[in-house]
Amino acid sequence: MVLGLSAKKEKIDATAGVSLAASAWKRLRRSPVFLTGAVIIGIFILISLLSPWLAPHDPANPMLIDQVVKARNEIPPAQPGHPLGGDLQGRDFLSRLLVGSQQTLIVGVGATLIGLTGGLILGTLAGALGGWVDSLVMRVVDVMLSLPSLLLAFSIAAMFARPSQFTVILAVSIVQIPVFARLLRGSMLAQRHSDHVLAATALGVKKGAIVFRHMLPNSLGPVIVQSTLVLATAIIEAAALSFLGLGNPDDRVPEWGQMLGDVQKVFDTHPHLAAWPAICIIIVALGFTLMGETLREALDPKNRR
């Protein structure tokens, strides 16, 4: 523990075992909060997968452009065939909202996967190998953690000369790498001296096999919890990036965060253009958070009374 910054964030006991998972699942199944989150996320994923068929129009087609008259502040209102009207460029707003779920899911999942993979590599290396590898990895992690994470994401996003959806995902995922790395390293370190690892070592099982067959699976609980929470933050942070002008400037393929961050200029005159994507983001982020928090509680051995 060098800078002691995120130490207290990790309330999860790293030795959470498989039996714990089973009992956790038992309790989760009966938790209305968890189920609410799961239902929200289920619907969200379903919509985003089906959105190309659900959307009534092409989200990139400015079909209502002749109704857009900027100076007179006319933005296509709700009308037959377009229940939510159009956006600033005359594109069907409902279609954009529906299809927007897809990119939003991609941003969330993409960011989580990259953050997780990066953290997995660094954390496993540090935790499993120890020694100078551990020190080096932890120094890198310390530097990254000594910056407020969202601020780091802003800085990374500003770094790309050619911003795109991918750079947004990178920016919000890189800041998660140290968090995952630390989580996994802690879990690995704790297990190094646990009975089952010692037993496996005594039986002559190879180090790699121990790491992958025993130590990693046992760290899965806290990683899943963290991933669920990252899914929520990634979506919200992507919106913040767009708001600061650091998001994906190409809006032909919609994404909720971008839709929300981009309409600040008309927020007071056309609040619905911001409110819809905002509500979608809030609901989905809430869904992930509800799942994550209940998972966290369920996996916390202290709660196993």
**Contact flag: residue 293 with another protein (CB under 8 A):** yes
**Contact flag: residue 2 with another protein (CB under 8 A):** yes
Taking CB under 8 A as the criterion, which residues in 15-34 touch another protein? 33
**Contact flag: residue 88 with another protein (CB under 8 A):** yes
Cα→Cα distances 264→90, 158, 250, 257, Å: 17, 20, 17, 12
Between 152 and 197, name the residue whose CB sits nearer to another protein. Answer: 152
Which residue stretch of 119-127, 141-149, 193-201, 212-220 sits at the interface with another protein (rule: CB under 8 A)? 141-149
Residue of the chain from 24, 232, 295, 299 that contacts another protein (CB under 8 A): 232
- Dihedrals phi, psi of 86, to nearest 5 degrees: -120, 175
Strand partners, 82: 79
Between 214 and 261, name the residue whose CB sits nearer to another protein. Answer: 261
> What tokens does 239 get?
């919106």
Q: How far is the CB of 147 from another protein (least distance, A)?
A: 5
**Contact flag: residue 183 with another protein (CB under 8 A):** no
**d(Cα 8, Cα 252) in Å, to the nearest integer?**
42
Which residue stretch of 49-57, 95-103, 178-186, 274-282 sits at the interface with another protein (rule: CB under 8 A)? 274-282
CB contact at 8 A, 1 and 140: no
**Contact flag: residue 304 with another protein (CB under 8 A):** no
Per-position x/- string for 239-258, each x denoting binding to another protein as judged by CB under 8 A, each - no binding: xx--xxxx--xxxx------
Between 161 and 203, name the residue whose CB sits nearer to another protein. Answer: 161
Q: How far is the CB of 210 from another protein (least distance, A)?
A: 29
Residue of the chain from 50, 65, 199, 209 that contacts another protein (CB under 8 A): 65
The full DSSP string for 143-165 is HHHTS-HHHHHHHHHHH-SS--H
Q: Tell me how far the alpha carbon of residue 254 is from its chain's centroid.
A: 18
Q: Which residues contact 270 (CB under 8 A, 6 or more apart)?
A: 75, 263
Q: How far is the CB of 8 from another protein (least distance, A)?
A: 6
Of the candidates 230, 249, 223, 224, the residue with the CA atom closest to the CA atom of residue 108: 230
